[in-house]
Amino acid sequence: MATFKAWVIDRVADGQRLAFRDFDEADLMDGDVTVRITHSTLNYKDGLALTGRAPIVRRFPMIPGIDFAGIVETSQHPDYAPGQPVLLTGWGVGETHLGAYAEKARVPGDWLVPLPEGLSPEHAMAIGTAGFTAMLALMALEHHGLRPEAGPAVVTGASGGVGSIAVALLARAGWHVVAATGRPGEAAYLRGLGAAEILDRTELSGSAKPLAKERWAAGIDAVGSTTLANLLAMTRADGAIAACGLAQGMDLPASVAPSILRGVSLLGINSVTTPIAKRRAAWARLARDLDAGPLAAMTTRVGLAEVGNLAEAILAGEIRGRVVVEMA
């Protein structure tokens, strides 16, 4: 069997060890589709896995990386044939199933999505889990009945991966977007993506009051904890916040007052085990609704061998927008 290059995490006495090395194709896990990976990306969760800062990896050895795009090499699945371009996000890949920071992957075909028309593998990974999550959040707000005429929409962590795409998608959909960020130097970047206002994240970092002045009708939050509590307290009557991240923490020091006294809703976004029909619908909308210009403006490219050096940077909030990992 052939070998290929991969980042591999092994368990050691004091935690885990990360190495870029050859991996034997015979050691890939069970699945009915083998994919030659051409592109991947770097998410906050990938940074946690690569560094061991959180127990993301639950099987060793593990190839990390939760997203990939590539070409089917072999398939026993009725929906996929050799040569077909596909993508994958979620499903525990890079956590419990060997993942994307490698030149090959073998997975169940039911986890795959055919690459939508109009998207290249590179563009799909510029979107990745971050963009997929942002679209799920927008769809949840729309399903809740919220439209741009209801008022502004706030995005936290706006200069990060989820936040950048959320700003672009909301602006494209006609929303007045308030972009909350801790990096004032990114104001021009965020306005270029469509943000109408820039909010210093310190305005959302203090202890949340049960209720505060109503400021927005909707929001997409990638931060959690105190920030999410403040968002809810500041949301207009019958508004909603879609929560999809926990960079600040898993706690929620909030009151039920916004829900009971204003009818504010908290919408949870799960991008890992999203049903296939909803998954395909979200990717079809991303292919149609996400402008190529803003996507290019938020994307940088690195080679597979460089991934390990970027883990600390994404955890420290030093990476703007999206990173595409090229295997070639």
| Domains of the chain from N-terminus onward | 3-115+298-326 (3.90.180.10), 129-268 (3.40.50.720)
Task: Please state, as a whole number, how many other Cβ atoms lie within 10 Å of the Cβ of residue 185.
Answer: 9
Which pLDDT does position 293 carry in this prediction?
87
DSSP letter at 150 equals G
Q: Which of 228, 229, 171 is nearest to 197 (CA)?
A: 171
pTM: 0.93
The pLDDT score that the predictor gives to residue 209 is 95
- Residue-by-residue DSSP string for 212-226: ----EEEEEESSBHH
Q: What is the pLDDT of residue 292?
A: 85
Ramachandran category for residue 248: left, alpha or beta (phi over 0 → left; psi -120 to 50 → alpha): alpha
pLDDT at 119: 94
Mean pLDDT by 10 residues, the chain (328 residues): 91 92 96 98 94 93 98 98 98 97 98 95 96 97 98 96 95 98 93 96 94 98 97 98 94 97 98 96 95 88 95 91 93
